[in-house]
């Protein structure tokens, strides 16, 4: 028998012991989902994160330029800045001539990429399924 958890008006009925999000407010989860979607669905974001996930070394700006053909320097710089501000990337700038800038995933960024990879594995598993 479904029961309603919490005191909020926008609570959905929950089944006992069957929801790993027990105690969460559906409205709050939807807002959090919107934040995640806004971050990872911007053009180029995942294409920037995957190379960092697959490397134990930081990736230099010029390597991103090579990997991301078709992206303007402005778009690349803007996206890298957004990921840095979101604490997904760490930017390492060296006081050298010519200037050298490298990026690496933060722990938060690594967890994000791992989650996306898990979602992609789920998609592959079920994309050919009849159910």
Nearest to 81, CA basis, from 92, 89, 70: 89
- Any idea where the domains of the chain sit in the sequence? 1-41, 47-131
DSSP character string of 27-60: HHHHHHHHHHHHHHTSTTHHHHHHHHHT-SS-EE
Is the CATH number of domain 47-131 3.30.450.20? no
What are the pLDDT digits (tens) for 69-120?
888 889 889 999 999 999 999 999 999 998 889 999 999 988 888 888 888 8
What are the pLDDT digits (tens) for 107-127?
998 888 888 888 888 888 888
């Amino acid at each position: 028998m479904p029961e309603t958890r919490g005191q909020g008006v926008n609570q959905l009925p929950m089944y006992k012991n069957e929801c790993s999000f027990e105690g969460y407010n559906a409205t709050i989860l939807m807002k959090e989902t919107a934040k995640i979607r806004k971050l990872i669905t911007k053009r180029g974001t995942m294409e920037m994160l995957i190379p960092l996930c697959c490397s134990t070394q930081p990736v230099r700006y010029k390597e991103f330029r090579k990997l991301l053909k078709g992206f303007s320097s402005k778009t690349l710089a803007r996206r890298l800045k957004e990921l840095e501000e979101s604490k997904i990337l760490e930017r390492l700038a060296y006081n050298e001539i010519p200037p050298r800038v490298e990026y690496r995933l933060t722990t938060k960024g690594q967890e994000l990429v791992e989650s996306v990879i898990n979602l992609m594995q789920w998609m592959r598993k079920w994309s050919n399924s009849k159910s």
